[in-house]
Amino acid sequence: MTRLARSALPMLLLLGLARCGEWLPPFETVPRPAPPADTSGAIRVGVCYNFLTTTADEVRGIAAVSCGPTATPQPVERDLSLNYCPLLVPSRATFTCVAPDNQQ
């Protein structure tokens, strides 16, 4: 086995693991803080997910459960956060929980 093949093998195994969605499920995490100009006081929810194995509906579903039955999650932003999300699930989506009468 050549040196290049030996160094590429772990990367191929890692990519193979990343494709297994059931091993890398999305989960709730710490949301990104609201900017100082945001004085709404709305509840914020963060969801870590792997963009290769998770659909937008799955991420929204987790946010909806976290917001509860009386609020709807509205996406605010996405980022990569290795402080709050692990290496194989590095993407973080932040939502605000909006009551039905406050939706735009």
What pLDDT does 99 receive? 86
pLDDT in tens, 71-80: 999 999 999 9
CA 32 to chain centre: 11
Q: Residue 4, exposed/middle/buried by CB under 10 A (0-12, 13-18, 19+)?
A: exposed
- Token pair of 61, please? 């579903």
- Is the whole-model pTM more than 0.85? no
What would the pLDDT profile of 12-55 be if each residue is shown by its tens digit? 666 655 555 567 899 999 999 888 888 888 899 999 999 888 99
- Kind of pairing between the strands at 44-49 and 72-80: unpaired
Domain count, the chain: 1
Beta bridge partners of 44: 96
Range of the domain at 53: 3-102
**With bands split at pLDDT 50, 70 and 90, how would you rate the model's confidence at 103?**
low
Instruction: Specify whether the CB–CB gap between 96 and 71 falls below 8 A.
Output: no
The pair of three-digit structure tokens given for residue 93, joined into one six-digit string: 């989506």
